[in-house]
Amino acid sequence: MTPIPSNGRLASLFLDMLAAERGAAKNTLDAYGRDLADYLEAIEGPVAAVEPAAIRAYLAGLSARGLAPSSAARRLSAVRQFHKFLYAEGHASGDPTASTAGPKRGRGLPKILSVEEVDRLLATAREGADNPDASPGSRAQAVRLLCLVELLYATGLRVSELISLPRAAARARERFIIVRGKGRKERLVPLTEAAREVARRWLDLSGARPGPWLFPAESESGHLTRQAFARDLKALAGASGLRAEKVSPHVLRHAFASHLLQNGADLRIVQELLGHADIATTQIYTHVLDERLKGMVRDLHPMSTGG
C-alpha cells in the first residue's frame, strides 16, 4: 500500500505546483507557506480527511483572533486552492471548502502573452534546437524544450498532462492525441503539423531511452518534472527578451485559449480542448478579450475622445 504523504509533504507539493505551473514569485510562495502552516497547525489529523465543519471552525478562529477581513479572505483563498489541489491530484476524495462561504473577491484576469511574444519564444527555441555548434547533449535539451513549448501552445495542455505524455503521443499517425486529464477524464486534442514534426524529431533523439514517457527523466515519476520545465521555460523567456516572471507553463495555456477565442473559436470548443468541467472557468478568457476590445474602441474609433 502506498504510504499517505504527511501534511507537510502535501503542502510542499502544493507550493511546488504554484512555482512550476503558475510561476509564483518567492514572496508569493512564502506568503502561501505561512498561511498553510497556520492552517495545518490549527486542524487535527490528516489534511486530506478534513471535513467542512473544520474549515468553518478555522475561519471562526481567525475572526476571534482579530484578523482583518482581507487577511482572513487571503487565508481562505490559500486553503481553498490547497484543497482543490489535493482533490485534483488524487490525494483527497473531495474538496471540503466547496461549500464554505467567504468574502466575495473579484477574480483576477489571467496573465497572457501576445501572439508576437509567443512567436519570439518559439523562434528562440528553434534557434537553440538548430544550433550546429551545440554539443549533442545541449542540442537534445534544446530540441526537448522546443517540443515542450510547441506542444503546450498547440494544445493548451495542463503542465501535468504535458510532462506525463506517453511516447505513443509522438508516434500517432492521427492529427490528435488522447489526453487523460483531471478526474481521469479523457479528451481528444488536435495537434498542429509543427508540433507533430518536432515531437517526431525529439523521439528520434531520445528513442534509446527506456520507459513509457515522451519526456523521460531521472525523477521519482520517471518523467520530466514541472519544476525542471518551468526553469527551462523561464531561461528561454530571458533569452527571448521577455520578462521571466511573465512566462510560465500556465501562461502558455492561457495564451492558447485567448488566441483561439481572439480568432473566432467557439467558447465551448475551447472548453473541451482545455478540459474544463464548467464553462464558467473558460469564460474568464472572454473578459480578457472584452478588455482588448474596449481598448481598440477607445484607441481606434473616430468618435473616441482618445483618438
> Which pLDDT score, from 0 to 100, does residue 176 have?
81
Distances (CA, A) of 86 to 5, 23, 94, 222: 11, 19, 8, 21
Is 253 noted as a catalytic residue in this protein? Answer: yes
**Cα–Cα distance, 121 to 7 (Å, whole number):** 38
Over residues 142-165, the pLDDT tens digits come to 999 999 999 999 999 999 999 999
76-80, 149-153, 283-287, range with greatest mean pLDDT: 149-153
Band (pLDDT 50/70/90 cuts) for residue 12 is very high
> Which pLDDT score, from 0 to 100, does residue 1 have?
43
Over the chain, what is the mean pLDDT? 83
Domain 7-88 architecture? Orthogonal Bundle (1.10)
Over residues 251-284, the pLDDT tens digits come to 999 899 888 888 888 888 888 888 887 777 777 7
- Domain boundaries of the chain, sorted by first residue: 7-88, 115-257
Over residues 203-253, the pLDDT tens digits come to 888 876 768 899 999 888 899 999 999 999 999 999 999 998 889 999 999
Which H or E element spans position 176? strand 176-180
> Which pLDDT score, from 0 to 100, does residue 2 have?
55
Band (pLDDT 50/70/90 cuts) for residue 105 is very low
Is 250 noted as a catalytic residue in this protein? Answer: yes
Query: Mean per-residue pLDDT for 20-36?
Result: 87
Band (pLDDT 50/70/90 cuts) for residue 290 is low
Confidence check: pLDDT of 304 > 70: no
> Which of 4-13, 191-200, 201-210, 219-228 is predicted with the least confidence, judged by mean pLDDT?
201-210
Is 158 noted as a catalytic residue in this protein? Answer: yes
On the question of a common fold for 7-88 and 115-257, the answer reads no
**Cα–Cα distance, 298 to 253 (Å, whole number):** 28
Over residues 116-142, the pLDDT tens digits come to 999 999 999 999 999 999 998 999 999
- Which member of 234, 250, 254, 259 is catalytic? 250
- Which member of 32, 39, 58, 285 is catalytic? 285
> Which pLDDT score, from 0 to 100, does residue 297 have?
45
- Which member of 182, 187, 200, 231 is catalytic? 182
**Comparing 296 with 56, which gets the higher pLDDT?**
56
**186-190 and 176-180: which strand pairing?**
antiparallel
| CATH placement of domain 115-257 | 1.10.443.10
In 3D space, the residue among 44, 41, 36, 43 whose CA is nearest the CA of residue 10 turns out to be 36
pTM of the model: 0.62
Is 26 noted as a catalytic residue in this protein? Answer: no
Is 126 noted as a catalytic residue in this protein? Answer: no
**Comparing 5 with 104, which gets the higher pLDDT?**
5
Distances (CA, A) of 218 to 121, 210, 224: 26, 11, 8
> Which pLDDT score, from 0 to 100, does residue 230 have?
93
- Which member of 22, 120, 158, 223 is catalytic? 158
Distances (CA, A) of 2 to 5, 14, 36, 143, 200: 9, 19, 24, 35, 35
> Which pLDDT score, from 0 to 100, does residue 288 have?
59
Is 39 noted as a catalytic residue in this protein? Answer: no
